[in-house]
């Protein structure tokens, strides 16, 4: 399968929340979203926006120290922050790979800290835009059928074309 990439410009936190809601409308059980980018690019804001749009209402602290926060909503959401892993093997030793099951939506910050590549998934690369409150998001599908790619990117078409 060939990956599709779409680049969108995000204006401020409200724009990040809008992107999260648009993507969430097409995400479901078993999907994984890898959030990549330097510190401060908005990975946690985007993860929270996706989770909120999927029905998570409780407080969502950063999972930086716990590595995983699980939320039960209409769709279970698993929010991983792998920044503090010192060795990729820790991901498996802690059984975190088992939390990425077919019944939940998995949102993974700093996925490069573990050695795993589930498919299908969305890879979202966040980077600084023209000024401090603008971000560029390169959204790439990995291992998805063409129909699924079209469905996901159609959710962005109205706002980002």
Full-prediction pTM beyond 0.85? yes
At 62 the pLDDT is: 75
C-alpha to C-alpha distance for 160 and 122, rounded to whole angstroms: 17
Sequence-ordered strand ranges (E) for the chain: 5-11, 32-37, 68-71, 77-81, 105-109, 121-128, 134-142
User: CB 105: neighbour CB atoms within 10 A?
Assistant: 24
Residue 73 makes CB contacts below 8 A (sequence gap 6+) with 51, 54, 55, 56, 57
Q: What is the C-alpha to C-alpha distance for residues 30 and 110, in angstroms, rounded to an integer?
A: 19
- % of the chain exceeding 70 in pLDDT: 96
pLDDT, position 1: 58
* Residue 60, SS3 per DSSP: coil
Looking at residues 58-62, what average pLDDT do you find? 84
User: Which residues constitute the domain of residue 66?
Assistant: 5-160
Give me the number of domains the chain comprises: 1
Average pLDDT, stretch 37-59?
94
For the domain that residue 24 is a member of, what is the CATH number?
3.40.50.300
Residues 119-136: what's their mean pLDDT? 93
Contact in structure between 67 and 94 (CB atoms under 8 Å): yes
């Amino acid at each position: 399968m060939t990956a599709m990439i779409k680049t969108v410009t995000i204006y401020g936190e409200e724009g990040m929340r809008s992107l999260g809601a648009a993507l969430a409308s097409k995400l479901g059980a078993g999907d994984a979203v890898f959030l990549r980018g330097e510190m401060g690019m908005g990975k946690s804001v985007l993860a929270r926006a996706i989770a909120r749009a999927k029905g998570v209402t409780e407080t969502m602290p950063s999972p930086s120290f716990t590595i995983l926060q699980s939320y039960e909503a209409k769709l279970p959401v698993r929010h991983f922050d792998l920044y503090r892993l010192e060795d990729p093997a820790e991901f498996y030793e802690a059984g975190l790979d088992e939390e990425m099951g077919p019944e939940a939506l998995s949102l993974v910050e700093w996925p490069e800290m573990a050695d795993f590549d589930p498919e299908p998934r969305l890879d979202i690369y966040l980077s600084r835009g023209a000024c401090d409150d603008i971000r560029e998001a390169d959204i790439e599908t990995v291992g998805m059928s063409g129909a699924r790619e079209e469905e996901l990117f159609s959710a962005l078409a109205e706002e980002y074309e």
